[in-house]
Copies of this chain bind each other. A is one copy, B any other.
Amino acid sequence: MLKGHLDMIVLAALSAGPAHGYAVIEEIRRRSGEAFDLPEGTIYPALHRLEQAGLLASRWTTSESGRRRRVYALTRSGDRALAERRALWQQFSDAIGGLLEGTRPCKKPA
């Protein structure tokens, strides 16, 4: 469960460059080493939410084959938000690390 971190994940996926919804799903799957295979019912609402929040901007395009796609890109705000989220994640991750410390017989250098 990605509860609470989905937004960061989507933003991170789009930090590589603009993409449409379906491509975001594949990008996430690829970059997570197949760990995250997010269903559409998760991604699309997230994209809408992020656009609503001004972190993404979307634009309709039509490919040569005539297929219509909605392409999302990070806004300036989105960029900043991603940086924030990443910092928060670091904190969070470290805190969890602290919690798990001592739980496991990890090799202590000292």
**Contacts of A44-70 to chain B: CB distance below 8 A:** none
Contact A28 B86 (CB under 8 A): no
How many residues on chain A are close to B (CB under 8 Å)? 33
Instruction: Give this chain's copy count.
Output: 2
Tell me, in angstroms, the Cα distance from A16 to B103 when the chains sit together: 7
Evaluate contact between A82 and B103: CB separation under 8 angstroms.
Answer: yes
Q: In the complex, which residues 9-34 of chain A have their Cβ closer than 8 Å to any Cβ of chain B?
A: 9, 12-13, 15-16, 28, 31-33
- A98 and B31 contact, CB distance less than 8 A: yes
Q: Considering only CB atoms, which chain B residue lies closest to A86 in the complex?
A: B100
Taking the closest CB of chain B, its distance from the CB of A81, in whole angstroms, is 12
Q: Provided the pairs A1-B3, A3-B4, A4-B1 are in contact, do residues A13 and B82 lie with their beta carbons within 8 angstroms?
A: no
